[in-house]
Structure 1
């Protein structure tokens, strides 16, 4: 088995576990109860990489992640988009018509409403999709099923009764791959790139407007701009942003120069190849 490890938040069999196995099959996936613990595992070199979900095409931004990125001391090495599929699974030998209740994470139950309604199932929310499968395996019940990723059925010895039951089959989660390397190897020069950064503007009138002006005047495409509070303070608003290109590009270099003039803090969190998923129709 590989000695290289990749940290994720959640239980074995979760979507993040599937993402680790899909994109880094040579790394051993290591589960952690919280995002903080997953970040710390990478920071302390217990794991070489971290697989962190940041947004979902249906549910939006993953809570608690953005404010952890700059404080973690880690860098973004890559982005990965993973289609999300949910399976209805039960203990071996259970028939679909016997199932009365389905358990899963609340967000997963919400993304499978049509199937749940068609099968006339009651629902029970639990803290983790894979955790629902684990609990069902530990406490067999012919009237209950779990809604979890396919990997969970394999790990916990359950049988899939209905496959890909999500309402929207374009449901996709975007993951960031994190590393403790302060200067990770730069992406190939020919590859389209994304640059992620955080900043906090100076206390000046129209500071945000002025700070962002350089991106427009230099033709830089900003694909994401989100605000968040640090340490619960209402007076200091940070911004997390993503742009096309790399800091060495003339347009982005000039935009960053202008941003820096109007910001009291500015930090690049990562420069990494744009996932080909972005250009799919």
Structure 2
């Protein structure tokens, strides 16, 4: 199957070699920045050269007291309860970046990739965005990106930030590494449940499995119950592990849907410490959507700046001057691109400082002149600008 090239909106007039981009023309300060969605203007925002890999691996999260990490199965005594559990063999196997075996699906439905296994919160977000879709699990975020690029699925729904846990930095890095476009967003209320084998009471539980962020978001409740927290790769996969191993003193923190899928009981519902626990997801596709001039749109961009005093203030001012509201600012260091070295010879200390990528979300459509003018102004002192997507905002919280 031939792969279809996708368009990337990039202002490349002042891109430097560390991005692997060539100049598309001389920069003229003060020139109009009239972005239209016709062929000629799209070519200005398309860049054929590949970006250098700037993904920064997140530091491994340090374990706090009461939290242990496991890799692989622990020998447990399997109880007779296992016979009561559902048959899980019919559930789809997650796609892997090393093994994209084609699967036959319903061609009449939108196929949406997500990271995790059935019952994950990301799957719930995909169903909220596309109620009649066919969800496709992936073992890693990278695999979900690649599944869209290889035309195995139509869309991917991936988390980008949580109101309690903060940003998912890995996905910010993958947005720059891959050539997909943001075409929408989904906000999902996260309701953590304490799950266990059928008939198990909360007093019987000694250990609980879940993703580190989920365990951290339920820390107070789990501490009161005196349950040892065990890090797992995914919330829904933790529920699946409890179901398949069939150990009565081991529970999971996952969604109510995961309990239904894997035949577990909900011992306690809503155990998160903060009631307003919302995760924001991005919807990614191969092609951008054409935004309208009406309100209710959001635009996401990434850019780098020259080093100097007040340069970030100038960058943010281009939006304030035009009455554009910024809803998100995220910075990510480029470890392969050091800005400079500070050498304190008196003390014998040498340190480096980073060059940074800035990710910004603002409330305006790229079809609006004020957004076009803002990026034209930003282009005067930004070394690199890329529009990640202009898409409708999700204003619905269930």
Alignment partner of 1:184 out of 272, 289, 313: 289
Larger Rg computed on CA atoms: 2
Give the C-alpha shift of residue 203 in structure 1. Answer: 5.0
CA–CA distance in structure 2, aligned partners of residues 79 and 238 of structure 1: 22
Answer yes or no: is 1:221 the counterpart of 2:340.
no
Report which of the two has the higher share of strand. 1
Residue 390 of structure 2 aligns to a residue whose secondary structure is strand
The within-5 A match list for 1:128-277 is: 128-181=234-287, 183-187=288-292, 189-202=293-306, 206-230=310-334, 232-235=336-339, 236-277=355-396
Q: How big is each residue's C-alpha offset from its partner over 1:211-238, in whole Å with a ceiling of 9 and x where there is no partner?
A: 3332222222222222113464333421
Report which of the two has the higher share of helix. 1
CA–CA distance in structure 2, aligned partners of residues 152 and 170 of structure 1: 21
Answer yes or no: is 1:22 the counterpart of 2:128.
yes
Distance 1:6 1:232, change over 3 A: farther
**Please, what TM-score do these two structures have when normalized by structure 1?**
0.91
Residue 338 of structure 2 aligns to a residue whose secondary structure is coil
CA–CA distance in structure 2, aligned partners of residues 152 and 210 of structure 1: 47
Residue 247 of structure 1 aligns to a residue whose secondary structure is coil
CA–CA distance in structure 2, aligned partners of residues 193 and 52 of structure 1: 19
Q: Report what 1:32 is aligned to.
A: 138
Aligned residues: 277
CA–CA distance in structure 2, aligned partners of residues 36 and 122 of structure 1: 31
Q: Report what 2:207 is aligned to.
A: 101
CA–CA distance in structure 2, aligned partners of residues 255 and 217 of structure 1: 8
CA contact (8 A) 2:113 2:135 kept: yes
Please identify runs of 4+ aligned residues in structure 1 that moved more than 6 A: none
CA contact (8 A) 1:99 1:145 kept: yes
CA–CA distance in structure 1, aligned partners of residues 390 and 281 of structure 2: 15
CA–CA distance in structure 1, aligned partners of residues 317 and 374 of structure 2: 8
CA contact (8 A) 2:289 2:391 kept: no
CA–CA distance in structure 2, aligned partners of residues 237 and 216 of structure 1: 21
Unaligned runs of 5+ in 2: 1-104, 340-354
CA contact (8 A) 1:56 1:173 kept: yes
Q: Report what 1:71 is aligned to.
A: 177
Q: How big is each residue's C-alpha offset from its partner over 1:8-39, in whole Å with a ceiling of 9 and x where there is no partner?
A: 11222111111112221221111112111111
CA contact (8 A) 2:295 2:364 kept: no
